[in-house]
Structure 1
Amino acid sequence: MLLLIICLCGCFSAAFAQEPTYAEKLGFPKGSKVLIMHVDDVGMSWDSNKGAVDAIEKGVATSLSVMMPCPWVPGFLHYMKEHPQTDAGLHLTLTSEWKDYRWGPLVGKPAAPGLVDTEGALWRSVNDVVSHASADEVEAEIRAQLQRARDAGFEPTHLDSHMGTLFATPQFMERYIKVGIENKIPVMFPGGHSTMIMQTRNADAATWAQIKQTGEMLWKAGLPVLDDLHNVSYGFDYSKEKNLSDAQIQKYATSKYIETIGQLKPGLTMVIMHCTSPSEVFPYISDSGRIRKGDLLAMMDPELKKYIEKEKIILTTWREVKERRAKMK
């Protein structure tokens, strides 16, 4: 059986390789690596907002997404009013993972009791959401987060999922995709060859087939589709040294980005990161400050920019790929 799965995965991989990538379908040159350099967790804190702005204004990041239930959303909404071309989507949020710094669902507990834990916040883990929340409650919260954005004059360029919660069950994913198609908003979904994301998830042949089918459905609905996801930077290991200087953190993070981007296959790939400029308060929110600072420093590193230019990697945004897809109708 294992040999059969390996053979089937190889067949699917070969089939993907023979087909045009979604990047090619969108009009990018054949064989090109086309990247959306994407900052998650905007609106979570002041530090997150500062990191996202610096990564885009001073670095090579091109896109971001906002956690609408979080306390520092208004601060970023005010920034976007001054910078309306910011490529900003919704980081659809169904968990509240930190110990002391938390947020609840926008739809409210009476409308979706399955989304709320005993502290009145969203559940800390994806498994808890799966165990307690219904697909109807999840969809209601997705729509509430979209409505808050629109009420503030913010039309998102795309939708994606905080902690991958919306990919946890077929029912959750169905509602996520449904809202995107209904509203003509692109959704983060690696529907192409998915080489890197499938390697990190140890996916089987059935998963590969479902990915391809879902990607085709989104494409037929008029939305752009990703070929792959680069979602590995949160696993970069900074633990070997306790007292690293910013220069050392930057050098390490940049080297890891260059290494892992080099492993990507041609196509449209979203590179996920969590650029943060940690203040003295951030350690009271999370112990992930060094990883997040590494993401930010790498994005601002001239060496990463030189590598991207040398390798003729194309940087794009969700707004651009949506516009390209619209012109093809």
Structure 2
Amino acid sequence: MKKLLFLLAFLPCQHLFAQTEPTYAEKLGYPKGKKVLIIHVDDVGMSYESNQGAIKAIREGVANSLSVMMPCGWVPGFVHYWKENKDIDAGLHLTMTSEWKDYRWGPLAGKTNVKGLTDTEGALWRSVADVVKNASPDEVETEIRAQLERARTMGFEPTHLDSHMGTLFATPEFLERYLKVGMQEKIPVMFPGGHNTAIQGEEKMIAERFEMTQKVGKQLWAAGLPVLDDLENSSYGWKGPENGDKSEKALQKYKTAKYIEAIGKLKPGLTMVIMHCTIHTEVFPHISDSWPTREGDFLAMIDPELRKYIEKEGIVLTTWREAMQRRGKVK
């Protein structure tokens, strides 16, 4: 499951762009030349394990932000916790797909209102490609707003918006609706509009598409929203030790090393580091075979070695809430 497939196809090689302007982190008042990270857990509300993994990754580890899949069954379990712990930086993981075989969810707008988003089981489509093939931009926007409305009905005001499986980046029309809702509602949206070093692709990428991300970044900034300089989104592809050892000790060592390597390669600026954290239970493997990478993410977040690395390197940790507060103070 990879995010930003649409954007990845649009980014240039590194030699096509040189950083000349201040980073968005600097514009927000963070120290010049510093790596400023939002360490972000996706898929909260999807399951009990996802809730506990995210909460523990924040309370006991270095993660500091998360987002919630509003159509899923364990959303109340998280929101009830959040109401008593509102210091947690929590946004909406806007969800247009339901990818698992036996554990599924449907649109909050109702099937009759968003027929193009639903499959033959009455659930959201399993793949991004099916959403692109069948759903209209109007239906996508309707579902985005329905998910925001459910959150607000529950008393949950999100600190930001992002996109499950990158579906809202899959077409220019979907992206336009995603950005539109964020700007209209004054909610920060996950969008890398800065130097984008970590997500730059191969030589076939073209400069014109990179310019699009710059234009959108400036548009979001002009609307009074903070903007990411970059996005680190490779962790879901880190499957585990090559020897196949899936013990907690092995997964933790492997994932911690991968995060240290990835963070080490980041350039200064405001970067969102994406992951998926779950605790271990006998149930989650029946939901998804992705459990090793998700458990590994959780174990890395609570690893003292990762915290030591972040502190030693002088890396600044922040949240979407703080970034928005800082944006409000910038003219």
| 2:156 match | 154
Partners in 2 of 1:275 and 1:202 — Cα distance? 33
SS at match of 2:157: coil
Normalising to structure 1: TM-score of the pair?
0.95
| 2:303 match | 301
Q: Map 1:1-329; keep pairs closer than 5 Å.
A: 9=13, 12-14=16-18, 17-199=19-201, 203-238=205-240, 240-329=242-331
Work out the percentage of aligned pairs sharing the same amino acid. 68
Equivalent position amino acid for 1:145 in 2: Q
| 1:3 match | none
SS at match of 2:244: coil
In the alignment, is the contact (CA less than 8 A) between 2:38 and 2:64 conserved in 1? Answer: yes
Partners in 1 of 2:21 and 2:222 — Cα distance? 16
SS at match of 1:70: coil
Distance 1:118 1:201, change over 3 A: farther
Q: How far does residue 206 in structure 1 lie from its aligned partner after superposition? A: 1.5
Q: How far does residue 10 in structure 1 lie from its aligned partner after superposition? A: 5.2
In the alignment, is the contact (CA less than 8 A) between 2:246 and 2:292 conserved in 1? Answer: no
Unaligned runs of 5+ in 2: 1-11
Per mean C-alpha deviation after superposition, the further-off stretch among 196-205 and 26-35 is: 196-205
Equivalent position amino acid for 1:38 in 2: H
Partners in 1 of 2:46 and 2:299 — Cα distance? 19
Per mean C-alpha deviation after superposition, the further-off stretch among 252-261 and 237-246 is: 237-246
Q: How far does residue 249 in structure 1 lie from its aligned partner after superposition? A: 0.9
Partners in 2 of 1:190 and 1:201 — Cα distance? 20
Distance 1:123 1:55, change over 3 A: same
SS at match of 2:17: helix
SS at match of 1:119: coil
**Length, aligned pairs only:** 320
Partners in 1 of 2:28 and 2:87 — Cα distance? 21
Partners in 2 of 1:43 and 1:266 — Cα distance? 32
Q: How far does residue 152 in structure 1 lie from its aligned partner after superposition? A: 0.5
Per mean C-alpha deviation after superposition, the further-off stretch among 125-134 and 199-208 is: 199-208
Bigger helix fraction: 1
Report the aligned-residue RMSD. 1.3
Partners in 1 of 2:26 and 2:43 — Cα distance? 30
Partners in 2 of 1:124 and 1:24 — Cα distance? 40
Q: How far does residue 204 in structure 1 lie from its aligned partner after superposition? A: 1.9
Partners in 1 of 2:88 and 2:205 — Cα distance? 34
SS at match of 1:94: coil
In the alignment, is the contact (CA less than 8 A) between 2:14 and 2:200 conserved in 1? Answer: no
SS at match of 1:37: strand
Unaligned runs of 5+ in 1: 1-7
